[in-house]
Structure 1
Amino acid sequence: MSHIITCLTCGTTNRVPAERLGAHPKCGTCGAKLAEAKVHEVDSATLRKAERKDSLPLLVDFWAPWCGPCRAMAPEFEKAARALTPHARLAKLNTQVNGDAAQRYAIRGIPALILFQNGQEVARLTGARPAAEITAFVQQHSRNRA
């Protein structure tokens, strides 16, 4: 089995064998790590592509720099990224910079977490959460049980 993974740096779609996820696979175009234990900042275009194509679970934090709860949750989101790698990836989308995203994804309040997999929104969670709760949320809702 292999996974389709969009590079969150350059937007290229990559095919990665499931058994290679833990071996720090890199993008065939730009060389960026595809399953890295950190949160990536994405723009609307990259998110749309990853949302449609990726088979590996992608949890996106919709946030804004002026949002206190968003800033408070950032370290917890980073911890969750370390715990979930290589079985899921975590990204952040700044709704202030990417204003179209709030409408496209029907974001009513931030922070808002949306889990995508295989071209679908799988689940969503709102409000600032601790790392353990974020991790449990992804594990509960992802199809390959991160």
Structure 2
Amino acid sequence: MSSVFTADLKGIVVPCPSCGQKNRIPYERLAAHGTCGKCEASLPLVHAPVDIPSTAVFNAVRGASSLPVLVDFWAAWCGPCRMVAPQLEKVAEQEAGLTLIVKVNTEALPGLSAQYNIQGIPALLLFKNGSLVAEQAGAQPASAIREFIYR
């Protein structure tokens, strides 16, 4: 399932629920509710996992996010990855405005997998203030993922 949110070098692009206008929320301001630049409606917090399209975008997210960043390294062929995906969606909803959850496809971005020595998937990495603070491998339920974030 593809997220309605997209990531680029400067922030997360959030569609306005009222008019559909795409609005960019800078990584440094992800904890705050924004307003649509077109109709001035309140924008939702990022409440779903966001796909990372490139290493450059990954580095921008990791380095600039005001929120902790939980990274899911996954692949389409991986059964446990498919099992953990809905759990990550639950956590993203629960953690909206508190933790940013992003997904890195190991097939599309193998260099990132190598950089972080990912040996098995799914693998979760947690970054705070741009630094890696925790790692965990294997599929987990939403409750265990939230515990991982806050341990």
User: 1:8 & 1:47 partners in 2: Cα distance?
Assistant: 12
Aligned to 2:123: 112
**Whole-angstrom CA distance in 1 between matches of 2:45 and 2:77:** 29
2:136 is the counterpart of 1:125: yes
Query: How much is the aligned-residue C-alpha RMSD, in angstroms?
Result: 2.3
Structure-2 change in CA distance of 1:92 and 1:104 (3 Å): same
1:3 corresponds to: none
Q: Name stretches of at least 5 consecutive residues in structure 1 with no aligned partner.
A: 1-6, 141-146
Please list every run of at least 4 consecutive aligned residues from structure 1 whose deviation after the TM superposition is greater than 4 angstroms: none
Note the 1:1-146 alignment, pairs <5 A.
9-12=7-10, 14=26, 15-16=28-29, 21=32, 23=33, 25=34, 35-43=45-53, 44-140=55-151
Query: Normalized against structure 2, the TM-score is what?
Result: 0.75
Number of matched pairs: 126
Alpha-carbon distance change, 61 to 86 in structure 1, aligned in 2, over 3 angstroms? same
1:106-143 per-residue CA deviation (whole Å, 9 max, x = no partner) reads 10110000011112001111100001111111122xxx
Identity %: 37
Question: Higher Cα Rg: structure 1 or 2?
Answer: 2
Output the TM-score relative to the length of structure 1: 0.77
SS in 2 for 1:56: coil
Deviation at residue 50 of structure 1 after TM alignment: 1.4
